[in-house]
A and B are shown apart, each in its own frame.
Chain A
Amino acid sequence: MSLILIFLSSGLFLGWSLGANDAANIFGTAVGTKMLRFTTAAIVGSVFVIIGAVISGAGASHTLGKLGAVNAIAGSFTVAFSAAFTVFWMTKLKLPVSTSQAVVGAIIGWNFFAGKPTDASALTKIVTTWVVCPVLAAIFSFSLFFLIKFILKHSRISIIRHDSYTRIGLLFVGAFGAYSLGANNIANVMGVFIPVSPFPDINITSFITLSSVQLLFLLGAVAIAVGIFTYSKRVMMTVGNSIFKLSPTGAFIVVLSSSLVLFLFASSELQGWLVSHNLPGWPLVPVSSSQAVVGAVLGIGLAKSGRNIDFSVIGKIGMGWIATPVISGALSFVFLFIMQNLFMQPVFA
């Protein structure tokens, strides 16, 4: 069991860094501008990340599984480790990076190493989603901007009431954002371990059963929660005070838009409902919450006449789509080689 935990550690580290960084996308402005206390944000964020991961995490993981089912635990460890290392290294170099893109690169690296074919249709779906994600977030925030402006203009609520609603609204969309983050991004953290999950199914009561995968997700989500509590405050203060200077209502729109995107790409219930009503469904894919936020901020910028928008961020995101998976894939290949030949661990079956 302790060996298993060691192997899971790279996934848990990914989870921790996800919690440390991405919780700031959800609660950054609210905490940074002192609209919410950090402790409140951290508790709500952690609880909803866990709920989202355990209840709705399966959908996006399934798509990652189609891309490449890593079938030996040492292989899973190395794939997650390569992704984590890429994220860590690129963050240190101040390059834009997304866990989702690093994980996909690392899985493809494993496919190459193990000589397994990469499912082209799954890869196309994933890459298309990366491009759609910030665009969709921008469309949502652009529309929400005008909707909320219209509501505020016609509701005639006082600024004090407006601020009270915004504070409560930020807490609610924060909870929704954390749920969506857990549901969408748990696949990045624990997806590669699904085929080799060491846990049995557990019956908590006669009604509630936690499957082996859900237990894995629970563990990953706890790692995210630990990341939120131990390290995200610093990131939140940075986000709230320097990078995105948003008004509280602007922050509400950004968090809601990016959370909606994450939710759309994670909710199998919504997808099932759409398909059953003959509407187009979309793939359930782990996407980057940071890129969704950047898209949403750009959407608001465009709605406010498009001035003061730094379009170079779009180029940086585009570069991330290519650079991150390539670097992570190459690292994954090298690390798998080392794991297999130096540590004598089977990395694929």
Chain B
Amino acid sequence: MSLFFNQTTQLEGDIESLLDDISNAVMIFSEAIKNYLKDETEIFLKRMQDVKKLESDVDELRREIRYKLYTKMLIPESRGDMLSMLETIDDVIDTTEEVLIQFEIQKPKIPKILNKDVIELVEASCKAADFTVMAARSYIKNNDMINDYINKTYFFEHEADKVENRIKRKLFSTNEIVSDLAEKMHISKFVELIAKLSDDGQDVCERLSVATIKRSI
């Protein structure tokens, strides 16, 4: 019996570590973009490596959790929901890594005049991702705050959408900021990539809402 509870504690610990890693990656991501905008390339690259490391740790943890859920901890009713939540929340950290890698490869030229807006977008997206991690934690811990966090995620996802559109409007409404269409498209693509982080958060929360309803007695 104690072995059974040890395994439970271990699994709880693994899931906690996974969520901690995602939360850290989101914070580092936000700082990395700010470093990029300030042309602090070295720090940016260092942060990108940190996110890569966290992403591979999360992949490893996710595999372990999946193995434990299926082989040792049989919780059939919530096992499917839990796994699908873990798979979708993994998209959040994947996006942070992917966006940073693309920044490093493509080196988009973001005009200084847009920095404030881009930082606002990064912050809204990261807040949405942060509240997603909190919602996931609440789901695992079975506490009442989950709906609050889900609502906040939706709010910041909506905010991110608004800022994303504002930046695009600024870009395409005039040729004063950027004149080349290819460059406009390029910057626009990166704005979409940053906003994708909040969309990933929203996807996780939609699954969490259903899973929470299913868990009522």
Contacts and interface: CB of A to CB of B under 8 A. Distances in A.
A158 interface: yes
Interface stretch (A203-211, A247-255, A281-289): A247-255
Contact of B217 (A33, A161, A167, A250): A250
Interface SS of chain B = helix
B42 interface: no
A160 B75 contact: yes
Q: Which of B78, B139, B143 has the most CB of A within 10 A?
A: B78
B78 A163 contact: yes
Contacts of B4: 164, 168
B163 interface: no
A5 B15 CA distance: 59
Contacts of A253: 217
B74 interface: yes
Interface in B139-163: 139-144
Contacts of A158: 12, 140-142
A240 to B, nearest CB: 10
A279 interface: no
Interface string A232-268: 0000000000000001111001000000000000000
B8 A33 contact: no
Interface SS of chain A = helix
B143 A156 contact: yes
Nearest to A247: B217
Contact of A152 (B1, B12, B78, B142): B142
A156 B141 contact: yes
A270 B106 CA distance: 79
B82 interface: yes
B73 interface: yes
A234 to B, nearest CB: 19
15 contacts: A148-B217, A149-B217, A152-B217, A157-B142, A158-B140, A159-B140, A163-B73, A163-B77, A163-B78, A164-B5, A164-B73, A247-B77, A247-B215, A248-B77, A250-B217
Interface of B: 1, 4-5, 8, 11-12, 15, 73-78, 82, 139-144, 214-217
Given A156-B141, A159-B215, 15 more contacts: A35-B74, A152-B217, A153-B144, A156-B143, A159-B75, A159-B78, A159-B82, A159-B142, A160-B73, A163-B77, A164-B73, A247-B214, A247-B215, A247-B216, A247-B217
